[in-house]
């Protein structure tokens, strides 16, 4: 008789047997892909322009965006969109420039709690302010040369990382042309910071 074996949430479950065996530490996940659908909402949209002379200045994060990057913010009414990809591909409502916020809920295992993470978002067109569980962890603004091509790599301190639900929120500002996450998708990942070998 063959006994089905099921992997679920870091546990090895043998059907018909009441015992559960915890996976060895080396079998716990150490990275999580971020090229998945994110919920997004245009918090301060502007009419689209493709002309640099008519580009919008980034006046800083809006009051709406400050609320939207908080952990407890209710994004149930927001629509999930594929990431990466310019937001103009999301449909008529996204033929805009200006400010938008994107949110992603991450379910992290207990093995990641309290540990530093490396957050890689790929490039973002144009500016970003990035938050992990409501705390700022990095940003790129107009003062960074080639801002629209820079791959974002930010350190998330372990004190912000908990087992279970974690919230990643990115405030994006597009001052003209295409906007949003531009990848590439293989560069979009959250991973444990490797400890230096002794």
Predicted confidence band of residue 26 (pLDDT cuts 50, 70, 90)? low
What b-and-e string marks burial along 135-172, b requiring 16 or more CB atoms within 10 Å of the CB?
eebbbbeeeeeebbeeebebebeeebbeeeebbbbbbb
- Computed from CA positions of residues 64, 67, 70, 71, in that sequence, does the dihedral angle turn out positive or negative? negative
Q: How far apart (Å, rounded) are the C-alpha atoms in residues 81 and 93?
A: 13
Mean pLDDT of 95-123: 97
* Stretch 40-55: mean pLDDT: 95
Q: What is the pTM of this model?
A: 0.85
In the prediction, which pLDDT does 72 show? 97
Return the minimum-mean-pLDDT range out of 17-26, 41-50, 110-119, 183-192: 17-26
Query: What pLDDT is attached to residue 198?
Result: 57
* Percent of the chain clearing pLDDT 90 (strictly above): 83
Contact 29, 192 (CB under 8 A): no
Superfamily of domain 29-192: Galactose-binding domain-like (2.60.120.260)
User: What pLDDT was estimated at residue 58?
Assistant: 97
pLDDT exceeds cutoff 70 at 20: no
pLDDT given at position 12: 37
Whether 44 contacts 179, CB under 8 Å? no
Q: Which residue reads 């200045």 in tokens?
A: 57
Amino acid 2: pLDDT: 43
List pLDDT tens digits, range 70-106. 999 999 999 999 999 999 999 999 999 999 999 999 9
């Amino acid at each position: 008789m063959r006994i089905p074996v099921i992997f679920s949430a870091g546990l090895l479950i043998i059907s018909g047997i009441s015992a559960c065996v915890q996976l060895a530490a080396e079998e716990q996940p150490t990275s999580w892909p971020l090229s998945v659908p994110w919920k997004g909402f245009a918090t301060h949209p502007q009419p689209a322009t493709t002309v640099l002379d008519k580009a919008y200045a980034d006046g800083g994060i809006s009051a709406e965006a400050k609320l939207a990057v908080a952990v407890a913010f209710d994004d149930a009414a927001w629509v999930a969109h594929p990431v990466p990809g310019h937001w103009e591909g999301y449909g008529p409502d996204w033929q805009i420039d200006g400010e938008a916020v994107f949110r992603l809920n991450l379910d992290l295992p207990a093995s990641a709690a309290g540990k530093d993470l490396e957050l890689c978002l790929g490039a973002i067109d144009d500016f970003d302010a990035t938050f992990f569980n409501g705390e700022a962890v990095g940003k790129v603004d107009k003062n960074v040369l080639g801002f629209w091509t820079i791959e974002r790599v930010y350190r998330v301190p372990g004190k912000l990382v908990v087992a279970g639900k974690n919230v990643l929120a990115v405030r994006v500002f597009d001052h003209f042309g295409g906007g949003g996450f531009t990848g590439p998708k293989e560069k979009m990942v959250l991973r444990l910071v490797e400890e230096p070998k002794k």
